[in-house]
Amino acid sequence: MTSEAPPNPLRGILWMLASGLSFVGVTGIVRHLGTALPAVESAFIRFAFGLLFLVPTLLPALRAGFAPGAMRLFAARGALHTLAVTLWFFAMARIPVAEVTAIGYLNPIVVTIGAALVFGERLAVRRILAIVVAFAGAVVILRPGLREVLPGHFAQLGAATSFGLSYLIAKRLSAIAPASVVVAMMSLVVTVGLLPFALLVWVPPEPAQVGWLALVAVFATTGHYAMTRAFALAPLTVTQPVTFLQLVWATLLGALAFGEIVDPFVLLGGGMIIAAITYITWREARLRRLGVTPPVGATKL
């Protein structure tokens, strides 16, 4: 008897919607907290709470040990993720919710490029064109020269790049460790990695701030769980376009909760990036049916 759920595209779409709403909840809370706490401290508190959810997975894994070389990969991924979450918290407190969300869509593009550079995956002309469209979408969002590009924008670009490189290492780890262990070890290493930097700038948090960051951990865990369920129930070609709705929810949240102006260029640029990702996903699914090994990016979106 198999434990895999039978395909159900509608349920997959609903799980992906739930995932998107959960992640918008994360961004909304972090935006609400603003700059009262240093970014690295907020990130540490969030991951410390998230680590509590993963203790049942983490303790048996630590007792059992890991394959040779795994700890180096865990450390490398943890370092990249530590940088990424710090940059993301910094950006989220300083630029509109919709812009953080739209720029974050570049993660899979970074993975696709990295797969070619690191793993030797072939970049066909069509995929290169899709990547060009995605980067054009980023230019539409940022509009350098037509408006001021803020430190928060650069931070989110750095976060997207660091997250993408982290996912590449996760791909390598997935061949030598269960997915649950990969996630648990990432949370452990990131929490430990953030601790010394958080202590350097530590500001005593108020109970309400701690409570909000605990809720961030709940929403983030829920979002990742819902995304995993969506991937199990429906192909990426079905669930990937649904992620564009996350930008819609983020735009509405920014406008209604924080008075942020709805920027049509952000929606246009985000749509261009999602269209490029969707094309790459569809293309890899078609190649898979033809018996061609899919690239790394197709399984790490």
d(CA 221, CA 215): 10
Please answer whether residues 267 and 251 qualify as being in contact, where contact means their C-beta atoms are separated by less than 8 angstroms: yes
By mean pLDDT, which of 116-120, 245-249, 269-273 is the weakest? 116-120
Neighbour count for residue 75 (Cβ, 10 Å): 15
Percent above pLDDT 90 for the chain: 58
pLDDT category at 287 given cuts 50, 70, 90 is: low
Tens digits of residue pLDDT in 210-219: 999 999 999 9
Give the position of tokens 């030598």.
176
Which pTM does this prediction carry?
Answer: 0.87
Secondary structure string (H, E, C) spanning 36-88: CCCHHHHHHHHHHHHHHHHHHHHHHHHHHCCCCCHHHHHHHHHHHHHHHHHHH
Neighbour count for residue 275 (Cβ, 10 Å): 16
pLDDT category at 298 given cuts 50, 70, 90 is: very low
Please answer whether residues 47 and 191 qualify as being in contact, where contact means their C-beta atoms are separated by less than 8 angstroms: yes
Nearest by Cα to 111 from 130, 136, 88:
130
Q: Quick one: how many helices (H) and strands (E) in the chain?
A: 12, 0
Instruction: Quote the pLDDT of residue 208.
Output: 97
Q: Could you give the maximum distance between any two Cα atoms of the chain, in Å?
A: 59
